[in-house]
Structures are given as structure tokens and as C-alpha cells.
């Protein structure tokens, strides 16, 4: 059958086919993910373990070596890279092409359960999808305060516990990180003379605090049809409980408590890093998107989350109540006016690139029509080319939306 003769004899069928192609093309324009660089997402899993205050040598010896022993036997593993830094261990696992990300995640989680033991003060390992630095962040946020002299770094717990989860709940956001914050911690300052007079060693002090600050299981208690589990809660929840901890007993049998030999205060961790913006201290938060998501939609969802945190003109956000609470707790002269500012937006470059492509298409189409009119003069042929060109462009977008194996 001659396709040209068929098209001439059946104009309605051809018109319907063209309309369907245009429909698929328009759907493709809406559905195709938009991003700054091509999407190359190998199957990579990262295992992160925090051990605050420890040197890289200790982190490698006590954590990384044990984790490597159980992770190296996972099927499909191509490359394993371990990095030990001050207080942190990261192991990046790259799997062969075709390995399902969810399957690899489950296998990594199962393997980590075989690690014999972790140091007492080390955090549980955290498994994340993607490499240790999952690509480039789509946005950088800064937590700042307008009050002169206010140390915004002391809001590290706020950024970790409240702001970060709100950002990560935005659809399409994979992860948000926090840099430059100082977390709350309890400082116990011992008096060396009092400790020496009572013949107490620092090993005894540490052991007494460690044994009291635990939650332990006390087994089950069967009662008829019920079999409740009993758990003894012993972790510290206030400073007074720490002060009343018994370290040892004197010669007369009297208890020696922490308050007898030390001062207990709630303070902030030592400053090990800092972020500055316009000469002032700040907390930086990079935000990463999920692989394959539309960056324009993700950025829109992220900005909605930022507005909820900061508040809008109609209603107050979460940070407004935090500022009022800090004013009372720390006896400040006023509200510190904490704000979360976005200082980098990757969609700006993408919008410029899309605008340039659109303008080039329009200019190119106009020039093509002018050239056809000059060489072919007026008639149907220039009009046919004029109509066919955008149809083919939209059809190409529809082909891009197909799965890779079908598109090929």
C-alpha cells in the first residue's frame, strides 16, 4: 500500500493520528523530568556512622573494619570505598548495573546486623540511597538570626530535629543535611581536689554514669492470657538525676554522689566547624532531590516547606514560636528573629536554559518559514512544512517518554 496515496485519500484518519501524536507529545512535555545535567544514577548505597569526638584512626579501627568484613560479601558489589573523618565513618557501596536499589538496601541492612558490636557511645549506622554526597544539591539554605551577638550555632538541635524533617517530607526531596550547628550536651566538670580526697578514679566516674544511663529489658510477666514485656527505664531525663548518681561509698558507708565532686550543667558541644554568611555565623543546609524526580516540581514543594517554617504574611511559621521561646529561656533583650533563607536555587539555571531553547525554536521556525517562502514562494508546500515541523518536534518528545528499551 502506498502510504502517500493512503494519506491523500483519508484526510480525516491522518488528522486524527496527528492529533493523537500531539496529545502524547504534550503529555511528554509535562511528564519528562527536568534537571540541569543528564541523569546518571548507578546503584549506590552509603552507610554512615557517627562517633562524636573520636579521631579518624579510632573510627577506622573500631567501626569501619568491622563493617567492611560483613559488607564485602554482598552479591553484586563492584566497589567499596570507606572514609574515616573526625567523629564519622562513611562506606560507599557501588553495585553492578541492573541491581535493584531496594534489594541492595535490604541486603546492606541485613549484613550490618552481623557486626559483632559497636562502641558504647557510637550512633547506629544510617543507610541512605546514593553516594555519600548524593550529586549536587538543588538548593542551599541558611538559618540566620537578625539579633547582633546571638549565636545561631546553638540551634543545631532545632535544625536537626525539626527543620530537617520538615524539609525531607517535601515530595521529591531525598535528603537535607546540617552544617555548622552545635548540639546540646551535658557538661560534668569535676573538682580534682574533691575527687582525689575521696580516692575516686575517672574510670569509676565514667562507669557509674554509664551503668545508670541505660534502659534494659526485664523479661516477660505471664498473667493469664496476657504476656506483657517489662522494661526498666533508667536513662537520664534531667540534670538532677545526674547529680544524684552514686559514684562510690566512703569509709563510713555513706554514698558519694556526682553533686559532691562535680558541677553539672546543660551546655553546647565544642565548636568544631562554622559557617559564615555576610560576616555572621549561620547554619547551612544543602537539600538533595530524589533520583529521577522533576526538579521544577521538587523546588516548588521545597519552597512551600520553607514558607511553612518561616511563616507567611497571613500566619506565623514554626520559627516564630521558637524565637519567642528562646527569648524567655535565655533572657534575651528581644526576639532573635530566626529565618531560613534560600541562597542557592538550581532551577534558575534550568529556567534560563529552557527559555533559551524556546526562543531558539521560535526564531529557528520563523527563519525556516521565511526561507521556504523565499525559495518555494506562496502555496501549500511552505504551509505543509510549517505545520509538519512542530508536529515532529512534539512527536520526538513523546518518543523520549517511552521506556528505554521500547524507545530504542
User: pLDDT tens for residues 139-179?
Assistant: 999 999 888 888 888 888 889 989 999 999 999 888 899 99
The predicted structure's pLDDT at residue 66: 92
Asked if 84 and 60 count as a contact pair (C-beta separation under 8 A), the reply is yes
Strands 280-289 and 126-129: unpaired
pLDDT of residue 36: 67
Determine phi and psi for 201, rounding to 5 degrees. -95, 160
Question: Domain 148-183+270-345 belongs to what topology?
Answer: Alpha-Beta Plaits (3.30.70)
* Average pLDDT of span 363-381: 74
Give the three-state DSSP class for 87.
coil
pLDDT of residue 239: 85
The answer on pLDDT for 6 being more than 50 is yes
Provide the pLDDT confidence category of residue 70 given band limits of 50, 70 and 90: very high
Q: What is the dihedral of CA 178, 181, 185, 190, to 10 degrees?
A: 140
- pLDDT for 406 equals 39
Question: How large is the C-alpha radius of gyration of the chain?
Answer: 31
Copy the grid coordinates of residue 26. 504534550
Any idea what DSSP says for residue 277?
Answer: E
Q: Is the pLDDT of residue 407 over 50?
A: no
Q: Return the residue matching grid coordinates 502524547.
A: 24
| Residue 369 · residue 386 · CB < 8 Å | yes
Q: Domain 40-135, what fold?
A: Alpha-Beta Plaits (3.30.70)
User: Within a 13 Å sphere around the CA of 359, how many CA atoms are in the beta-carbon half?
Assistant: 6
Residue 276: strand, helix, or coil: strand
Rounded-to-integer distance, Cα 329 and Cα 325, Å: 6
Q: In this structure, what is the dihedral angle of CA atoms 21, 22, 27, 28, given to the nearest 10 degrees?
A: 70
Mean pLDDT of 18-47: 74
345 vs 348: CA distance, rounded Å: 6
pLDDT attached to residue 164: 92
Contacts with 275 (C-beta within 8 Å, 6 or more apart), sequence order: 142, 179, 180, 281, 282, 283, 284
Statement: residue 313 has pLDDT above 70 = no
Mean pLDDT along residues 301-330:
82
In terms of pTM, does the model score above 0.85?
no
Q: Do the domains 186-268 and 148-183+270-345 match in fold?
A: no
Helix (H, G, I), strand (E, B) or coil at 250: coil
Q: For residue 81, what are the CA distances in angstroms to 71, 76, 98, 184?
A: 11, 15, 20, 32
- What's the mean pLDDT in 249-257? 85
What is the tens place of the pLDDT at every residue in 184-230?
A: 888 888 888 888 888 888 888 888 887 777 666 566 666 666 667 66
pLDDT-based confidence at residue 404 (cuts at 50, 70, 90): very low
Dist. CA 273–CA 325, nearest whole Å: 26
Average pLDDT taken over every residue of the chain: 81
Q: Count CB-CB contacts under 10 A for residue 295.
A: 19
Contacts of 403 (CB under 8 A, 6+ apart): none
Which residues does residue 222 pair with via DSSP β-bridges, in sequence order?
A: none
How many whole angstroms separate alpha carbon 202 and alpha carbon 198? 12
Tell me, what's the pLDDT at 110?
92
Give the confidence band of 402 by pLDDT, cuts at 50, 70, 90: low
The CATH classification of domain 186-268, taken from the options 3.30.2090.10, 3.40.50.2300, 2.40.110.10, 3.30.420.40: 3.30.2090.10
Would the pLDDT of 387 be above 50? yes
* Cell 541562597, residue located: 343
Rounded Cα distance, 240 and 141, in Å: 38
**Taking residues 66-92, what's their average pLDDT?**
91
Domain range summary for the chain, segments of one domain joined by +:
16-35+351-407, 40-135, 148-183+270-345, 186-268
Q: Which pLDDT value is given to residue 41? A: 59
Element (H, E) at 219: strand 215-220
Nearest residue to 80 (alpha-carbon basis) of 68, 88, 89: 68
- Who wins on pLDDT, 407 or 400? 400
Which of the 8 DSSP states describes residue 10? -
Looking at the DSSP bridge assignments, the partners of residue 332 are: none
134 pLDDT more than 80: no
Q: Is the pLDDT of residue 262 over 70?
A: yes
Please report, to the nearest 10 degrees, the dihedral formed by the alpha carbons of residues 148, 151, 153, 155 taken in order: -100
> Average pLDDT for residues 300-322, to the nearest whole number?
83
Q: What is the pLDDT, as a whole number, of residue 218?
A: 60
Amino acid at each position: 500500500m502506498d502510504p502517500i496515496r493512503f494519506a491523500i485519500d483519508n484526510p480525516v484518519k491522518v488528522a486524527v493520528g496527528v492529533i493523537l501524536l500531539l496529545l502524547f507529545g504534550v503529555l511528554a512535555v509535562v511528564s519528562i523530568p527536568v534537571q540541569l545535567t543528564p541523569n546518571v544514577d548507578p546503584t549506590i548505597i552509603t552507610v554512615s556512622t557517627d562517633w562524636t569526638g573520636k579521631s579518624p584512626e579510632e573510627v577506622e579501627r573500631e567501626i569501619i573494619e568491622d563493617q567492611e568484613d560483613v559488607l564485602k560479601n554482598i552479591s553484586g558489589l563492584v566497589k567499596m570505598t570507606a572514609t574515616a573523618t573526625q567523629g564519622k565513618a562513611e562506606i560507599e557501596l557501588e553495585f553492578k548495573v541492573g541491581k535493584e536499589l531496594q534489594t541492595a538496601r535490604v541486603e546492606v541492612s541485613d549484613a550490618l546486623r552481623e557486626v559483632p558490636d559497636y562502641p558504647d557511645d557510637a550512633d547506629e549506622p544510617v543507610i541512605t540511597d546514593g553516594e555519600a554526597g548524593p550529586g549536587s544539591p538543588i538548593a542551599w539554605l541558611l538559618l540566620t538570626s537578625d539579633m547582633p551577638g546571638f549565636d545561631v550555632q546553638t540551634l543545631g538541635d532545632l535544625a536537626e530535629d525539626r527543620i530537617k524533617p520538615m524539609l525531607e517530607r517535601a515530595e521529591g526531596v531525598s535528603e537535607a543535611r546540617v552544617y555548622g550547628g552545635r548540639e546540646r550536651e551535658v557538661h560534668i566538670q569535676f573538682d580534682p581536689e574533691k575527687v582525689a580526697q575521696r580516692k575516686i578514679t575517672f574510670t569509676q566516674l565514667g562507669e557509674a554514669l554509664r551503668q545508670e544511663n541505660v534502659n534494659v529489658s526485664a523479661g516477660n510477666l505471664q498473667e493469664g492470657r496476657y504476656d506483657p514485656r517489662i522494661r526498666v527505664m533508667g536513662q537520664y531525663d534531667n540534670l538532677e538525676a545526674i547529680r544524684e548518681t552514686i559514684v562510690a561509698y566512703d569509709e563510713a558507708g555513706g554514698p558519694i554522689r556526682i553533686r559532691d565532686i562535680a558541677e553539672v550543667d546543660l551546655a553546647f558541644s565544642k565548636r568544631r566547624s562554622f559557617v559564615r554568611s555576610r560576616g555572621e555565623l549561620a547554619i547551612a543546609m544543602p537539600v538533595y532531590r530524589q533520583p529521577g524526580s522533576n526538579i521544577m516540581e521538587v523546588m516548588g514543594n521545597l519552597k512551600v516547606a520553607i514558607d511553612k517554617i518561616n511563616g507567611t504574611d497571613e500566619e506565623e511559621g514554626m520559627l516564630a514560636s521558637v524565637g519567642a521561646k528562646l527569648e524567655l529561656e535565655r533572657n534575651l533583650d528581644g526576639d532573635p528573629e530566626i529565618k531560613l533563607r534560600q541562597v542557592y536555587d538550581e532551577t534558575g539555571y534550568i529556567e534560563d536554559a529552557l527559555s533559551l531553547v524556546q526562543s531558539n525554536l521560535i526564531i529557528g521556525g520563523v527563519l525556516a518559514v521565511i526561507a521556504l517562502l523565499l525559495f518555494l514562494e506562496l502555496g501549500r508546500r511552505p504551509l505543509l512544512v510549517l505545520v509538519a515541523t512542530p508536529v515532529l518536534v512534539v512527536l520526538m518528545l513523546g518518543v523520549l517518554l517511552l521506556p528505554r528499551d521500547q524507545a530504542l
